[in-house]
Amino acid sequence: MGGLPYPELSDFHPKGKATQAYGLWNEERGAGNRAVIIVDKEGIIRFRETYVPGVLPNPEDILAAIDKLG
C-alpha cells in the first residue's frame, strides 16, 4: 500500500494461520471471517470487530479506537 505509518496483516500464506490464531477461521468456508483488529505496541488487542459479508467496517469506529491508543 505504500506509505502507511502502521503495519497491516494479510493472511495469504500459510493459508489461515493468522486467522486461526485470532479465532477468525471459518472451517466451513475454508477462509477467515472478515475483521478489523487493532493491536497495541505491547501486543494487546485493543479493538476487534468482525463483519458479515456485505457489511463494511465503520471508519469512525476504527479511528476512535486508534485515537484511544494515544
pLDDT in tens, 47-61: 999 999 899 999 999
Cα gap 21→68, rounded to integer Å: 25
pLDDT digits (tens, 9 = 90+) for 11-68: 776 778 889 999 999 888 888 899 999 999 999 999 999 999 899 999 999 999 999 9
pTM score of the predicted model: 0.75
Pick from 36, 40, 56: nearest CA to 48? 36
Q: Rounded to an integer, what distance in angstroms lies between the CA atom of residue 25 and that of residue 20? A: 5
26 forms bridges with which residues in the sheet?
Answer: 31
Q: Give the cell for residue 44.
A: 494487546
Checking if the pLDDT of 1 tops 70, the result is no
CA distances from 65 to 12, 27, 45, 53, 68 (A): 26, 29, 11, 22, 5
